[in-house]
């Protein structure tokens, strides 16, 4: 299972990836998570990525492709992976094609989680993440038992700096301009599958599993 999880920011890629990891025990590779870890650790990569992330822009292709190339070469990716948030440009998709071929792997499908723009802003602005274990919540759609506290590990929940309404508008514009063309790209490649993301999380997941088995 070498799966791409596509969709606009806030569509539910991370949420669905977490469920897939639980069921299929394959690595979840989120470029957004990798960049956030680099920012937290104040590495050179993190300093470079932060400038772009804060403005809702994409990190340059060469940087992003480089970190994905390294990660996919690790042994745990042989049996499968869930790539979340990569590729986001046609250049990244072309690079991925080469990386996967060099590793002797084949992409299974590109799953696009489709959600209308007005819902995406509400999802992103209400998103909360556990500082300790990374679990994702939503103040309205997936509220923790105790406000601000992770149900799983008791860690403190935080809001991503780029989950403001203003930055989200930029991220959606970037999505429309640079990432949306990948829908045609993967249709042409015969890998494209669409999921209706405007449904309760568990229903979205059962649709994901149905598509994967189909």
- The span from the CA of 106 to the CA of 137, in Å, is 33
Residues of span 168-197 touching ligand AMP by CB under 6 A? 171
Selection from ligand ADP, ligand AMP, none that 59 binds (CB < 5 to 8 A by kind) is ligand AMP
136 binds ligand ADP (CB under 6 A): yes
Task: Kindly give, in sequence order, each residue whose CB lies less than 8 Å from that of residue 129, ignoring residues fewer than 6 positions away.
Answer: 135, 136, 137, 157, 158, 159, 160
**Residues 50, 127, 128, 193: which is the catalytic one?**
127
Q: Is 160 a catalytic residue?
A: yes
Number of residues that bind ligand ADP (CB under 6 A): 21
Complex with ligand AMP: residue 34 or 208, whichever CB lies closer: 34
- The span from the CA of 146 to the CA of 166, in Å, is 28
- The span from the CA of 75 to the CA of 36, in Å, is 23
Q: Is 69 a catalytic residue?
A: no
- The span from the CA of 204 to the CA of 123, in Å, is 15
Residues of span 17-46 touching ligand AMP by CB under 6 A? 31-32, 35
11 binds ligand ADP (CB under 6 A): yes
171 binds ligand ADP (CB under 6 A): no
88 binds ligand ADP (CB under 6 A): no
Distance of CA 109 to the CA centre of its chain: 15
* Backbone φ, ψ for residue 213 (5° rounding): -80, -20
**Residues 36, 50, 123, 171: which is the catalytic one?**
171
95 binds ligand ADP (CB under 6 A): no
87 binds ligand ADP (CB under 6 A): no
The DSSP bridge partners found for residue 109 are 3
- The span from the CA of 32 to the CA of 113, in Å, is 17
The closest of 1, 3, 33, 15 to 115, measured between CA atoms, is 15
Q: How far is the CB of 107 from ligand ADP (least distance, A)?
A: 19
**Residues 36, 88, 128, 193: which is the catalytic one?**
88
Cβ neighbours around 21 below 10 Å, total: 13
Q: How far is the CB of 37 from ligand AMP (least distance, A)?
A: 11
| Residue ranges binding ligand ADP (CB under 6 A) | 7, 9-15, 123, 126-127, 136-138, 141-142, 197, 199-201, 204
Which residues are part of the catalytic machinery? Answer: 13, 88, 127, 160, 171
């Amino acid at each position: 299972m070498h799966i791409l999880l596509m969709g606009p920011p806030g569509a539910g890629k991370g949420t669905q990836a977490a469920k897939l990891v639980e069921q299929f025990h394959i690595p979840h590779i989120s470029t957004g998570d990798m960049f956030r870890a680099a920012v937290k650790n104040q590495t050179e990569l993190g300093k470079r990525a932060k400038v772009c992330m804060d403005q809702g822009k994409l990190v340059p292709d060469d940087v992003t492709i480089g970190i994905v190339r390294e990660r996919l070469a690790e042994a745990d990716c042989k049996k499968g992976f869930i790539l979340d948030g990569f590729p986001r440009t046609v250049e990244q998709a072309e690079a991925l094609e080469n990386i996967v071929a060099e590793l002797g792997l084949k992409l299974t499908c590109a799953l696009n989680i489709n959600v209308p723009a007005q819902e995406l802003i509400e999802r992103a602005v209400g998103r909360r993440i556990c500082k300790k274990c990374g679990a994702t919540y939503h103040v309205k759609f997936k509220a923790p038992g105790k406000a601000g506290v992770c149900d799983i590990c008791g860690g403190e929940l935080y809001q991503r700096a780029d989950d403001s309404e203003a930055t989200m508008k930029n991220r959606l514009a970037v999505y429309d301009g640079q990432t949306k063309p990948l829908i045609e790209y993967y249709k042409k490649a015969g890998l494209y599958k669409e999921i209706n993301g405007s449904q309760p999380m568990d229903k979205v997941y059962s649709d994901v599993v149905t598509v994967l088995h189909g």
